[in-house]
Amino acid sequence: MSSQTLNKIPLISLVGPPNSGKTTLFNYLSGKKFKTVNYPGSTVEYSISKILSKHAVNADILDSPGIISLIPSSPDEQLSVNTLYSHPKFGKPDIVAVTVDVSQLSRHLYLVKQLLESNFKVVVVLTMTDVLYKKGFDISENKLSSILNCKVVRVNGKTGKGIDSLLTVLKESLNEIEKDSAASLIKADKHHKTKLLESYSEIEKIEKEVLFETDQKSTNGKIDIQKINESIVVLNSAPKFLKADETSLKIDKFILHKFWGLIIFFLIMALTFTSIFWLAAPLMDLVNDGFSFLSENAFTLLGEGLIADLIANGLISGLGSVLVFLPQILILFLILGLLEDSGYLARGAMLIDKPLSKIGLNGKSFVPLLSGFACAIPAMMATRTITNKRERFLTIFIIPLMSCSARLPVYALLIAFLIPQETPWIGGLLLAAIYVFSITSSIIIAAIVNKFSNRLVKEKDNTSFILELPAYRMPKPMRVIQETIKNGKQYVVKAGPVILFLSLLIWILTTFPNYDPVVPVSPDVSPEQTEILKSNERMSTSYAAYLGKFIEPVMAPLGLDWRVGVSLIATFAAREVFVSSMALIFKITEEGDDMQNSILNSMREAKIGDSDQKLFTTATTAGLIVFFVFALQCLSTVAIAKKETGSWRIPVLQVVVFTALAYVFAFVTVNGLRAFGVN
């Protein structure tokens, strides 16, 4: 294999059905130093890492989305199967380690059989043996190994027991490869039904051979004769002797109850969103205050001047606008991770499948749409689990309407302007109202687009929903926290530089070319007033002002002027720039006040042009909020939509439709409010 000779370090691919403990195993082997794009719900990209040096196996290990068989039915499975047969960079794997949940042995052995038939060098890793034990059974890995003619290891995901023997086996297998020449791979083709049934009947025979009853069921005091009888009967009539997890079945009586199921669903959703607001808000304030403090101190330390201005207003407030939305992202991903780990997320998807199918979506759109409230980028990648192309594209289409965390600082500022300071709880209500409004609008828009979806994308009418409901279990806090931190880190690394760059760009545009303008000096003007005059003059002769005046005619119908126009242009690259660009444009560096309050004060004083007409009124501020609800202001989202849909069609349509909607609805809001006498 030419690809192998190029690649000196051997590659071990980790595959397995969803919920088979694959990622847990990967984390054991790789430590935490792996590159990946993960999100709660599943692995959507492959992750690659070297096996931890303490394990003394010199190999790369690759984790990819879970697969049920080698015949993919959705884009995420396609990715896994492709990486398995030939990874573009790493070639074909030297060893395929496949995880098998022994409590679902027969279903998971199907993939193992396919892999063996395709000539992969397979190492089987048995997981969830504790669950099997609880069901009253155990498995003989030696028997399984001799029947399948491949190596079999048992690993406990909770304690890590068995990892050592797995590593030994991997080492042995790697040595063997160096000796024998690798057999060429056979592509699995769409199995004929009879072939598939043959495979399964072979698997059922294997299952009977390797599984055996343990007598621990009787250890709880009395011997349950009936149960023993049952299992004997079951064993004799074979292949159905594994029952689903009893506890999960009991919990599902409530969670999937016709009435209570719905109540619980809404409660969980309500809790999720309120905790985002209530938990994130104080943390966001903390970030805000921290950066205001830094910015002020920069001036005290460096004195007034260009460098101080660059550091305080350009760099520090730019960084602040990157980090201010981090708490919300972390909290949402934390909750999503907990829901995923506990097994609820799949049930949520099931419960909402019917309503979503009415507007052309799928139950599997549920997780992507939820993630969209943190950030559209992982959300769009998460749509890869949706089998039907039309449903997937429609999900991608409406994801930007989900109120992502980048909008929160914007709403926070505008709401703070609208409501009296003494009654902050109104702000909470208003924010909730904005979320409800944006969800309702996206439902309506999805329903309308669904009517034209045949023109959006041609696809056979093969919509389906088949999803395994994993057994409930206590979420592993460490794992969830690890995943959350990983998500947060990636987000900062990905979005951070863009936002920081834009903040600096805006700083340059608003500071130059007239950095030190000449203002009339007279004895009755104090130095402070001279400073203010200078700063106003600098701003109104800046590059930003020239740019802004171009778009002033567009802004005028919304009751806004070029200054807001400049901020809005900047936000088309990334929304979160709005607050920092407002801060720059309305130049605020008042002592002893935090950034938000000083922006608010300048907003209250801002007038349109030379007139007496106030720039920010209730009507124009409400208009701005509505604008932000609809507008797709995020370059990264456009890029990922292009990548995920494979053409410019969807992203261009999104930008055009959502910008038009934003403008029209903002116009209606401003002028509607004015017509009712609200200014």
Token readout for 256 is 């999937």
Half-sphere exposure of 456 (CA within 13 A, CB side): 23
Considering the complex, state which of residue 139 and residue 573 has its C-beta at the smaller distance from another protein: 139
Can you give 132-149 as a three-state secondary structure string?
A: HHHCCEEECHHHHHHHHC
At residue 243, the 3 state secondary structure works out as coil
User: What's the closest the beta carbon of residue 135 comes to another protein, in angstroms?
Assistant: 8
Considering the complex, state which of residue 243 and residue 489 has its C-beta at the smaller distance from another protein: 243
The secondary structure of residue 217, as a DSSP letter, is: G
The secondary structure of residue 474, as a DSSP letter, is: -
Considering the complex, state which of residue 3 and residue 106 has its C-beta at the smaller distance from another protein: 106
By CB under 8 A, name the binding residues for another protein: 68-69, 71, 73, 103-104, 106-107, 110, 135, 190-191, 193, 196-197, 200-201, 239-240, 242-244, 248-249, 252-253, 256-259, 261-262, 346-347, 349-351, 353-355, 357, 363, 460, 462, 464-469
Sequence-separated (6 or more) residues with CB below 8 Å from residue 64: 13, 14, 15, 43, 45, 46, 47, 79, 80, 83, 84
Considering the complex, state which of residue 62 and residue 349 has its C-beta at the smaller distance from another protein: 349
Give how far Cα 167 sits from Cα of 7, 35, 51, 63, 121, Å.
21, 21, 10, 16, 15
Considering the complex, state which of residue 15 and residue 582 has its C-beta at the smaller distance from another protein: 15
Query: What is the biggest distance separating any 2 CA atoms in the chain, rounded to whole angstroms?
Result: 106
Which helix (H) or strand (E) element contains residue 48?
strand 47-50
Considering the complex, state which of residue 365 and residue 596 has its C-beta at the smaller distance from another protein: 365
Considering the complex, state which of residue 361 and residue 585 has its C-beta at the smaller distance from another protein: 361
Considering the complex, state which of residue 256 and residue 508 has its C-beta at the smaller distance from another protein: 256
Considering the complex, state which of residue 18 and residue 548 has its C-beta at the smaller distance from another protein: 18
Give how far Cα 21 sits from Cα of 69, 89, 136, 173, 206, Å.
16, 26, 21, 22, 22
Residue in 384, 402, 577, 399 with CA at minimum distance from that of residue 495 = 577
User: What's the closest the beta carbon of residue 186 comes to another protein, in angstroms?
Assistant: 18
Residue in 171, 102, 96 with CA at minimum distance from that of residue 140 = 102
Sequence-separated (6 or more) residues with CB below 8 Å from residue 286: none
The secondary structure of residue 103, as a DSSP letter, is: G
Give how far Cα 490 sits from Cα of 3, 19, 378, 476, Å.
30, 24, 10, 21
User: What's the closest the beta carbon of residue 1 comes to another protein, in angstroms?
Assistant: 29
Token readout for 99 is 């995880």
User: What's the closest the beta carbon of residue 172 comes to another protein, in angstroms?
Assistant: 31
User: What's the closest the beta carbon of residue 326 comes to another protein, in angstroms?
Assistant: 34
Considering the complex, state which of residue 200 and residue 572 has its C-beta at the smaller distance from another protein: 200
Residue 88: exposure state from Cβ atoms within 10 A (0-12, 13-18, ≥19): exposed
User: What's the closest the beta carbon of residue 259 comes to another protein, in angstroms?
Assistant: 8
Considering the complex, state which of residue 32 and residue 243 has its C-beta at the smaller distance from another protein: 243
In whole angstroms, give the CA distance from residue 390 to residue 446.
Answer: 12
User: What's the closest the beta carbon of residue 107 comes to another protein, in angstroms?
Assistant: 4
Give how far Cα 157 sits from Cα of 26, 42, 151, 477, Å.
10, 17, 19, 14
User: What's the closest the beta carbon of residue 309 comes to another protein, in angstroms?
Assistant: 58
In whole angstroms, give the CA distance from residue 316 to residue 289.
Answer: 12
User: What's the closest the beta carbon of residue 261 comes to another protein, in angstroms?
Assistant: 5
User: What's the closest the beta carbon of residue 203 comes to another protein, in angstroms?
Assistant: 9
User: What's the closest the beta carbon of residue 61 comes to another protein, in angstroms?
Assistant: 26
Place of tokens 């998807």: 349
The secondary structure of residue 87, as a DSSP letter, is: B
